[in-house]
Amino acid sequence: MKKSIQFSSFLLIILLMACQETPPPIYNTYEEYPVYEGNDLGLTFTPKKSTFKLWAPPAAKVMLRFYEKGEGGTFTKEVEMKRGGTGVWTAVLKENLEGQYYTFQTLINEKWGAEVPDPYVKAVGINGKRGQVVDFEKTNPTDWANDTKPTLKKPTDVILYELHMRDLSMHENSGIKNKGKFLGLAETGTKSPDGAVTGIDHIKELGVTHVHILPSYDYMSIDESKLEDNNFNWGYDPQNYNVPEGSYSTNPYDGAVRIKEFKEMVKALHDNGLRIVLDVVYNHTGVTEESNFNQLLPGYYYRQNEEGGFSNASACGNETASDRPMVRKFIIESVKHWVEEYHLDGFRFDLMGIHDIETMNQISAVVHEIDPTIFIYGEGWTGGDTPLPENDRALKKHTHRMKGVAAFSDDIRDGLKGSVFDAPDRGFASGKPYMEESVKFGVVASTQHPQLNYEKVNYSNEPWAGQPSQTISYVSCHDNHTLWDRLTNSQPNVSEADRIKMDILANTVVLTSQGIPFLHAGVELLRTKDGEENTYRSPDAINKIDWSRKTTYKPVFETYKKLVQLRKNHPAFRMPTTEMIQQHLKFMDFPEGSLLVGYTISDNANGDDWKEILVLFNGNQVDKPVDIPTGDWTMVVRGGEIDEDSQIQAKNSVKVPASSAMIFYKS
């Protein structure tokens, strides 16, 4: 008896030992977390088998649960995931899970996180609360396999048009049925009641090459279950990076619908000769403590301040740590997913200065290996201080250290219209003297040019672009006032006709400068947001494009269209290298503060038909006589009048109209 008791105790101990959890590894710093090199994190689906993998090195336990719906109800199945090497937890289910919803939950430091989708989730249900098993093969629109991108020979051929999904279609006069939806941007043949062409046809008519859409991955601020409320948000509050936003789909409950409709939009743009860029916000998450990243793996995905809390270079409560290997890997794989699954043609990185240079270079290398014509650019600044050493930040001044990555030029933007931080301030186009060098800096796309006095450029005292394709030239975007509202603010006492001259002068500079021109959607219709500056959650009434303006300001639209065409017809405005610009582009001498900028582009630059081109900008609100280089010149631009077939000749001197550009050529 006694012996058998002893034996049982021994068995019990063995049993207890066998049942005891393997204790989680102890890590003292995030740098000690093992790095996983595989490319199969998240769900790998086939109709016969689904494999789920989650990277969570310090976890003691990871649960995977399945549901019938994207929200509510109790789980139908629960699976305890198995720990493998390099911190990866795996569950394999040999059945067809298509349509089911799922969540992950981790136990770390004896605390369960919330049930959330994993970072790599590619399909979700309503409001992005649960992942969904979707058969991606079934999400492809008709003829998706033959989807062909419009030709793009060189990055300097890009002309960008920045658009919010709702702005294009929400106005009752847009003539677009699928208002505020991805499908709205796929609708052709739409017209306003006045008969003006709207929507995608309008963009095509304008002649730009790329439509840049504001954040359209799954973001938080719009309740997808209350779409009838018609709430508006720019969407800079990411929730699920690899999933399209539900409120832009016709059914946010079914994860496959938003995927299919996003692809239909891409296909329609491509079929209409337009490429598509996605605005991506990997620099922070919409919520901090409660984010999917942080619930599954506290802390790792974010940078910490000296006190150990979340640092906040985004000014939105947190900043991601792109310099940590598994964050960098996540961003690279996410971008790859959008390229491969959705056929995207470019990415605009929000607050790119928060990312490290190495990450941006790796993204560029990976993406350009798949497709060298993909265009990458970003905001070369941060929204606040970051613990990332300054020398490592993907800032504008470091653009020349990033291959195949461009940055926005706030130099030319504010040089033309005045500082965005000072609403009444004016710039060259609105008559402020001493901005000439900033305009010239914009003309040469922030590159090295022997005639520039960099000391006198508003924000940069040295060239920051290695090549012209690294500069985004613009005067307005979704942030801050529209160009028209800005001119109204800073020049309240001039007539509408004079303000139109300033508007056209500003974008004539943008569209004739070297580098990549960027237009804010609706600028070609003198778009107004009723003077509101930060409209990130203003109603559609403020944000939507009013298509009646296309009729009211028809001559303005025609001018924008001709300026775009002028750029496309003349490669001299799109020189691909800094050396070529140095060789062909020569500035004229005007006294400082004269509000005059002039230059010539000589010797059929970049294969142009025109042997020599003369460009003059007059920011003065009065006409200015200017002596021009010798020879007979043909005038093609005089303010809003543009005619490439013009026979008007000029010699010796010309009078440049107030707040206007003039362009001439010699054949």
Binding site for Ca ion (CB under 5 A): 218, 246
Nearer to Ca ion, 115 or 218 (CB): 218
| Longest Cα separation, the chain | 122
Closer of 70 and 246 to Ca ion (Cβ): 246
**Minimum CB–partner distance for residue 248 and Ca ion (Å):** 9
* Coil vs helix vs strand at 537: coil
By beta-carbon proximity to Ca ion, the closer residue of 231 and 552 is: 231
Q: How far is the CB of 258 from Ca ion (least distance, A)?
A: 9
- Residue 379 known to be catalytic: yes
Cβ proximity of 313 and 319 under 8 Å: yes
Give the shortest CB-240-to-Ca ion separation in angstroms.
8
**Residue 256: CB minimum distance to Ca ion, A:** 16
Q: Closest distance between Ca ion and the C-beta of residue 629, in Å?
A: 57
In the bound state with Ca ion, the residue whose beta carbon lies nearer, of 218 and 612, is 218
Smaller CB distance to Ca ion: residue 247 or 469? 247
Q: Are 86 and 36 in contact (CB under 8 A)?
A: yes
From CA 369, how far away is CA 511, in angstroms rounded? 30
Question: Backbone dihedral region of 124: left (phi > 0), alpha (psi from -120 to 50 degrees) or beta?
Answer: beta
Q: Tell me the closest approach of the beta carbon of residue 128 to Ca ion, in angstroms.
A: 5
Query: Distance between CA atoms of 491 and 659, rounded to whole angstroms?
Result: 12
Residue 237 vs 503, nearer CB to Ca ion: 237
| Cβ closest to Ca ion, residue 218 vs residue 356 | 218
Task: Work out the burial of residue 440: count CB atoms within 10 Å of its CB; fewer than 13 is exposed, 13-18 middle, 19 or more buried.
Answer: buried
| Residue of 379, 411, 485, 608 marked active site | 379
| Residues 428/436, Cβ–Cβ less than 8 Å | yes
What is the DSSP secondary-structure string of 97-121? -TT-EEEEEEEETTEE---B--TT-
Chain mean position to CA 9: 66
Which one is catalytic: 162, 224, 323, 350?
A: 350
| 247 in Cβ contact with 227 (< 8 Å) | yes
Cβ distance to Ca ion smaller for residue 131 or 175: 131
Residue type (1 letter), 649: Q
CB contact at 8 A, 302 and 185: no
32 catalytic residue (yes or no): no
SS (H, E, C) 374-414: CEEEECCCCCCCCCCCHHHECCHHHHHHCCCCEEECHHHHH
Which residue number is nearest to Ca ion in terms of Cβ?
218
C-beta of 205 vs 223, nearer to Ca ion: 223
Own/partner long-range contacts of 642-650 (Cβ < 8 Å, ≥24 apart): 642/559, 642/562, 642/563, 642/566, 644/562, 644/565, 644/566, 644/569
Closest CA to 426 of 414, 436, 442, 409: 414
Residues in contact with 531: Cβ distance below 8 Å, sequence separation at least 6, in sequence order: 481, 485, 488, 489
Least CB distance from residue 222 to Ca ion, whole Å?
A: 6
Determine the Cα angle at 451 with ends 445 and 457, to 5°: 60
DSSP string, 617-661: EE-SSS-EEEE--SS-EEEEEETTEE-TT---EE-SEEEEPTTEE
Q: Tell me the closest approach of the beta carbon of residue 247 to Ca ion, in angstroms.
A: 6
For residue 367, which phi and psi values (nearest 5 degrees)?
-65, -45
Please, what's the b/e burial string for 84-118 (b: 16 or more CB within 10 A of its CB; e: otherwise)? eeebbbebebeeebeebbbbbbbbbeeeebbbbbb
| Closer to Ca ion by Cβ: residue 288 or 582 | 288
Residue closer to Ca ion, measured from CB, 247 or 482: 247
Nearest to 181 by CA among 199, 197, 204: 199
Cβ partners under 8 Å of residue 20, min gap 6:
none
Closest approach, Cβ 218 to Ca ion, in A, equals: 4
- 145 burial (CB, 10 Å; 0-12 / 13-18 / 19+) is exposed
Catalytic sites, residue numbers: 350, 379
